[in-house]
Amino acid sequence: MKIKTFLLLGLAAALSGAAFAKDIQLLNVSYDPTRELYVDYNAAFAKYWQGKTGDKVTVKQSHGGSGKQARAVIDGLAADVVTLALAADVDALYDVGKLIPQDWQKRLASNSAPYTSTIVFLVRKGNPAKIKDWDDLVRPGVSVITPNPKTSGGARWNYLAAWGFALKKYGSDAKAQEFVGKLFKNVPVLDSGARGATTTFVQREIGDVAISWENEAYLAVKEFGADKLEIVVPSLSILAEPTVSVVDKVVKKKGTEAAAKAYLDYLYSDEGQEIAARNFYRPRNEAIAAKHAANFAKVELITIDAVFGGWTKAQKTHFADGGIFDQITTK
Amino acid sequence: MRNFASAVRTAVASATLFAGLPTIHAASDTDDITALREQLRLLDQKIKVLERKQEIAADDAATAAKSAPKITINDKGFTLASGDGANQLRLRSLIQADARVFTGQDPTITNNNAFLMRRARLIFEGTFAKNYSFLLVPDFALNSTTTLQLVDAWVNVAITPSLNLRLGRFREPVGLEQLQSDATAFFVERSLVSQLVPNRDIGAQLWGDVLGGTLSYAVGIFNGIADGANNNNNGENDQDKDVAARLFAQPWKNDGGSPLQGLGFGVGASFGRQKPVAANLTSGYRTDGQQTFFSYRTQSAAAASLTNFSTVADGPTWRVSPQAYYYNGPFGFLGEYALSTVNVRPNFPASLVGSPKVELKNRAWQLAASYVLTGEDAAYTGVVPATNFDWNGGTWGAFETVVRYDVLDLDDKAFTSPGGGYASLAAAAANPTKISTFGLGVNWYLSKAVRFSLDWFHTEFDNNVAVPTRALLKNDENAFITRLQIVF
């Protein structure tokens, strides 16, 4: 009996030791242009979390087109958290994978969108194609770079911003569809993600204008130089709200729930918001937004809810198989 | 005048015309150049677009290839794997064709010089969702009792990298050489130490590597089996279970360049409490040449008497086995010791009332060494030749020499009466008190998958009597064993 008792105690000790492991690994599955943001943020969070709990947390990053990334998580990529370009891609984690609860968006402030962005134009120095507003993108002969809305969250924002402009200016969905159709006829290459589209425009020197996330455009100018690129702010754009969520099924299985939740909560902290602003994302925190106001152009912003009736409807109408985007591109 | 004026006008007009010609030519050239430049720009864009599309297509193809299922056929078997490697099925095999020749033996032994299929196994293994794996190993090599035997069959759950749960039939974690793969041991047959430690049994085990892989642990609970035995038939002899555990350290495993990197040492042990049911938990022991040299008394219950009975286990059974190996370049060393303690008694009368119980302590040890003549590294997991044998290519694979000395010392109390008028628990005239074996061999690795071995075992018996009744014991055993083996 004594030997068996000792063995049981030994096993219990081994199991409890495993349960209180101090090294935590998180995987953040994100969309294309957030690489730099989360490199900065992960370091700050690791420091914060170690100070708070003593645990050492390492966050791995995965980036790609937002739609593709959501698909990868549904197919088994063990993401502790997702930080995707739009709510529709996070919705898919519930709709298709049942990996998160249906009301995931209510779990964090601002509909689980800790920072926002918008859509601007990136043009070559001197703006040789004279791009000033959305109308210029449908001119014959103008070459426009935007990624594929089927795989890229940013591309869906681009598409909807163009649609919103045309709807406001020309007054009907039919005219808006015609406008967006003309715009996509001017797109020579459809990359799968926003970073790929930036590569196409900046490094491969294709196109006269790239429709881009605001932060991605600023980053491109910063990296490649103001002597090569310029940003043009259109008369109207869209409020882009990248959303974040813990992947419940994964964190429960891995035992990383507390760290994963804290990871997302910390995005709303002063330090998290400051890091977002430094990486050209518009912070939710008003004081920090005011501090960085000079970095963000004032532009009229439409919202997905007001113009398109929310992401679920927009997704179904425009981007689902057989939707308007498919109709436009198969013409 | 008119003519003059006309002439002047004409001259002025002509001068003007001719003066204007270079301007017209220059404007035309500029337009052409501009048009050509635009054409060039458009062509350049078209080329860049085509190149980018190719680039994107290549990226997409590479991404698709990563997620596409993979089929691999190599010297590790036939593998079907999902793109991310988290799920895979592998088919492997182990085939050993032996020939045994015994010289100088008693002439009454007439049936042991033979060819035989020692092992003929298909090995099915797989992993699902990265953390769940299984192994299924049927053996088709015929033996005297079965035509198809399930050797290994287990399911493993990797809870964490350092904590695994395994359930099914597999080797109990006690003996060092016993736990080594059948295909990679120095000699074609394991040493006498493996006769005293349990082989495969059915149970559940927690195991893993900790401290950066420098310490391995395993602890399990099993149905319980005799020394050196396998539990081939889901057997359960009594309601009690055996517990087996092993700790094995390789402290310098991660210190590249350290001369102690290949040093490993540890201890394995098992403990059980047996009830007297038949003779299932008492063993016979075999020589390195696989001939039985020791067995307890056996007799049917109906014919049992004070002098002729079956010896059965009754009471605590425990084993302990300190062990070590050391590998450094082409040199390899393995040493282990095993103490097996069993409580036994005569199974007569059936009630066992008055039947005396005796605790026997049997001991064995071995020292073995190897040297790879062709310079490859020796390892517990076997030798990988730098080249394959290829007659036309002039390459010969790897050659390894091996040497071993092993001893098994049986408790003398097995050969004396336990009292009460009973005969000894094992017939003194039919069993030795101790045997010692010197082994010498050479292994030729024709490829990673193919090995040819030639071993010689010389065994001397310390008998209880001058003329033992077991024919094997009448002379030293000299066994020559060859093996051609394919494992992948």
Condensed to tens digits (0 to 9), the pLDDT of residues B436-476 reads 999 999 999 999 999 999 999 999 999 999 999 999 999 99
Give the span between the Cα atoms of B442 and B456, in whole angstroms: 9
Ranges of H-type helices in B343-420: none
**B74 assigned to some structural domain:** no
Look at residue B377 and tell me if it is in a domain: yes
pLDDT of residue B94: 93
- Shared domain for B213 and B362, answered yes or no, is yes
Establish if B267 belongs to a structural domain.
yes
For chain A, domain boundaries: 2-116+241-295, 119-239+299-330
Tell me, what's the pLDDT at A311?
A: 87
- Chain A interface includes B162 (CB < 8 A): yes
Task: Give pLDDT, residue B65.
Answer: 77
Query: Does the distance separating the beta carbons of B162 and A189 come in below 8 Å?
Result: no
**Same domain (yes/no): B9, B126:** no
Whether residues B208 and B357 fall in one domain: yes
Q: Is B163–A11 a contact, with Cβ atoms under 8 angstroms apart? A: no
State the nearest Cα–Cα gap between B230 and chain A, in angstroms: 23
pLDDT at res. B372: 95
The C-alpha atoms of residue B17 and residue A152 are separated, in whole angstroms, by 63
- Hey, are the CB atoms on A192 and B56 less than 8 Å from each other? yes
pLDDT at B481 over 50: yes
- CB-closest option in A10, A15, A206 to B52: A206
Question: Do B48 and B165 fall within a single domain?
Answer: no
Do B130 and B214 lie in one domain? The reply is yes
Find all residues with CB under 8 Å of B253, minimum gap 6, and list them: B212, B213, B214, B261, B264
Q: Greater confidence, B414 or A16?
A: B414
Q: Among A17-21, A311-315, B340-344, B387-391, where is mean pLDDT lowest?
A: A17-21
Amino acid A3: pLDDT: 44
Question: Which of A10, A191, A200 is nearest residue B219 as measured by Cβ atoms?
Answer: A10
Q: C-alpha distances in angstroms, A254 versus A78, A265, B209, B283?
A: 9, 19, 19, 46
Q: Which of B86, B163, B243 sits opposite A3 (nearest CB)?
A: B243
**Which residue reads 């003593």 in tokens?**
A54
Q: Please report, in angstroms and rounded to a whole number, the separation of the first and last CA atoms in chain A.
A: 80
Partnered with residue B125 across adjacent β-strands are: B90, B135
pTM over 0.80: no
Of B45, B56, B163, the CB nearest to A191: B56
Interface probe with A: pick from B42, B44, B52, most Cβ of A within 10 Å: B52
Residue A86 has pLDDT above 90, yes or no: no
The boundaries of the domain holding residue B47 are 1-68
pLDDT tens column, B278-292? 556 677 899 999 999
Number of domains within chain B: 2
Position B334 scores a pLDDT of: 96
Which amino acid type is present at position B177? E
Q: Report residue B282: phi and psi, to 5°.
A: -115, 145
Question: Was domain A119-239+299-330 assigned CATH 3.10.100.10?
Answer: no
The three-class DSSP label of residue B125 is strand
A2-116+241-295 shares its CATH topology with A119-239+299-330: yes
Q: How confident is the model at residue B352 (pLDDT cuts 50, 70, 90)?
A: confident
Which residue type sits at B153? A
pLDDT band at B58 (very low <50, low <70, confident <90, very high): confident
Beta strands in B275-383 (DSSP E): 285-286, 292-294, 311-328, 331-346, 358-372
Residue B196 lies in a domain: yes
Residue A200 with chain B: CB contacts under 8 Å: 52
The CA-based angle B459-B465-B466, given to 5 degrees, is: 80
List the single best residue of A7, A24, A198, A203 to mutate versus B (max B Cβ within 10 A): A7
pLDDT for the residue numbered B267: 97
Q: What is the mean pLDDT of residues B321-341?
A: 96
- Adjacent-strand bridge partners of B484: B97, B452
Is pLDDT above 80 for B233?
no
Smallest CA-to-CA distance from B293 within B106, B111, B461 is with B461
Say yes or no: B329 and B182 in one domain.
yes
Asked whether the beta carbons of residue A3 and residue B219 sit closer than 8 angstroms, the reply is no
Picking from B68, B93, B111, the residue at the C-terminal end of a domain is B68
Q: Mean pLDDT lowest for which of B17-26, B60-69, B255-264?
A: B17-26
**B279 and B219 inside one domain:** yes
Task: State the Cα–Cα distance between residues A305 and A309, nearest whole angstrom.
Answer: 4
- Let me know whether B23 and B95 are in one domain: no
| pLDDT of res. B145 | 61
CA separation for the pair A92, A100 (Å, rounded): 9
Q: What is the pLDDT of residue A15?
A: 42
pLDDT at A253 over 90: no
User: Is there a contact between B56 and A196 if contact means CB atoms under 8 Å apart?
Assistant: yes
Mean of all residue pLDDT scores within chain B = 88
Averaged pLDDT, A142-154: 91
Taking only the tens place, the pLDDT of each residue in B5-46 is 455 455 544 554 445 555 556 667 888 888 888 888 889 888
CA distances to A226, B59, B70, B87, B127 from B65, rounded to whole Å, are: 39, 10, 9, 16, 20
Question: B127 near B86, Cβ under 8 Å?
Answer: yes
Residues B64 and B107 in one domain: no
Do B88 and B175 fall into the same domain?
Answer: yes
Mean pLDDT of A17-32: 75
Provide the mean pLDDT of chain A: 89
Residue B75 lies in a domain: no
Q: Do B52 and A11 make contact, defined as CB atoms within 8 angstroms?
A: no
- Whether A123 has a pLDDT exceeding 90, the answer reads yes
Q: Which residue has the tokens 């084993």?
A: B319
pLDDT at residue number B26: 64
d(CA A128, CA B13): 42
- Kindly state the average pLDDT of the residues B354-382: 94
Please write the tens of the pLDDT for every residue from B106-144.
999 988 899 999 999 999 999 988 889 999 999 888 665
Q: Are residues B366 and B239 in the same domain?
A: yes
| Domain shared by B242 and B368, yes or no | yes
CATH of the domain at B99: 2.40.160.10
- The DSSP result for A4-48, as a single string, is HHHHHHHHHHHHHHHHT-SEEEEEEEEEGGGHHHHHHHHHHHHHH
CATH node for A2-116+241-295:
3.40.190.10
Judged against a pLDDT cut of 70, whether residue B357 lies above it is answered with yes
